[in-house]
Amino acid sequence: MAAFYISDELGAIKHITYTQTSERWTPLNTTLFAGSSEGKGKAFQKLAAFTQVDSQTLLAAARADGTAVVLAVSEDGETAETVSEWKETRLKDGQRYVGLSATTGGIYSCTSNGALRLTQPNGDDTPAFQLAALPMRLTEWRLSQNVETFTYAGDEVEVSVWNTERAFAEASTSRKPVPTSEDATKKRKRSEQLLPGEIWRAKNLPNDELNLRHPVRNTALTYLQPSANTSQQHLLVGTQFGDVRRYDTRAARRPVANWKVGKVGGIGVVEIGTHEHEAFAADQGTNLYAIDLRNGQVTYGYKSIAGAVTSVASSGTYLASTAQDRYLRLHSTFPPPSEIGQQQDNKGEVLDKLYVKSVPTCIVADPSSPRSMEEDEEEEDEAVWAGMEDANSDDEGGRKRQKT
């Protein structure tokens, strides 16, 4: 079984559960939050799901008009009750939400004009919150699995990694008023020094053969793996030029790999897969690819997609995607070859497609489904091993420095 939550441009949220029979996959479509006839101002731009310690599933969703809502989903996944609602007053016309994450500490949200917020729903009409300001013209914002760092990128905004706690502490302890996004942008232009709370910032590619500067057009990004070391993060970034770039913050400021993947327009979506060395990328055409992270090769692509992919999510070994052709698709996935350069024997296919009345905007896996719970446990184990590897790496580096 695979289960997902999807949102659409009219402000509806649905729970989709797939069950498999001997002949086909069958989706069960349940509407949790009815859409609105008020137009695209109620369109959900970001969606996040989270399971609390008491196994209660919460959904956080952010709308185009700046409002956001937290829903408590019933145990059977058939109804949802509004827990809290608020509005991001710093969101202006022509701007949008670029990031949303639900955690035990609260709901993190970020907008394209750099309005970062931590909201702590408490049942009151006005939930507690903290504010911080980031640069403007952002296109994507992601929170790390352990919540210790976040990353963003944008239009003429280089990929950057921040310490989450320090980002909010700098804003709350400053004697000056909370800085605006415009202030943060001006400060960045004046100096190449890291901003307060910023850990690492990427550097642009070298000038081309005519000594012309490369425009910075980052359109999508994600963390590749959990890391207990805030100074060492692995990131995957998509650009408007169809490139997919891999960054290792400890190795260099420039990408350690740069692969040409997109065929039509830029990269709209990048997401890590559940298999080792696996990631997915979609361009602005109708292409959705599986990528081998060891060499950037496309291992296979999915057929019969008639619109640009808007969002993807994994549930166990299955991938679901939403597209502008108003279809939700369930895909099979297969790991990259065991050795680099080998031929891919098995290729993913579209297992089922479900038509929805409005253009779907976001999709996330249901964290309470059995497959997602197994996946979370595996990610926690990976985080522990990553932390041990980082510690060993630091120890070795220290011993080498002592010898010199």
Distance CA 109, CA 117 (A): 5
Residue 354, Ramachandran bin (φ over 0: left; ψ between -120 and 50: alpha; else beta): beta
Give the closest residue to 203 by CA, choosing from 195, 190, 214: 214
Where is 374: in which H helix or E strand? helix 370-403
197 token code pair: 């709370």
Return per-residue pLDDT of the chain as tens, 404 residues.
899 999 999 999 999 999 998 778 999 999 999 887 777 788 999 999 999 888 899 999 999 999 999 999 998 889 999 999 999 999 999 999 999 999 999 999 999 999 999 999 876 778 899 999 999 999 999 999 999 999 999 999 999 999 999 999 987 665 455 556 566 565 555 557 899 999 999 999 999 999 999 999 999 999 998 888 888 999 999 999 999 999 999 999 999 999 999 999 999 999 999 999 999 999 999 999 999 999 999 999 999 999 999 999 999 899 999 999 999 999 999 999 999 988 898 999 999 999 999 999 999 999 987 654 454 455 555 554 455 555 555 554 544 444 43
Helix locations, 150-261, DSSP H:
164-173, 181-190
Q: What is the pTM of this model?
A: 0.87
Q: How far apart are CA 383 and CA 377, in angstroms?
A: 10
Cα–Cα nearest to 312, from 85, 77, 47, 57: 47
pLDDT of residue 126: 81
Q: How far is CA 143 from CA 102, 182, 400, in A?
A: 9, 23, 33
C-alpha 232/C-alpha 216 separation (Å) is 23
**At residue 104, what is the residue type?**
T
**pLDDT in the model for residue 370:** 67
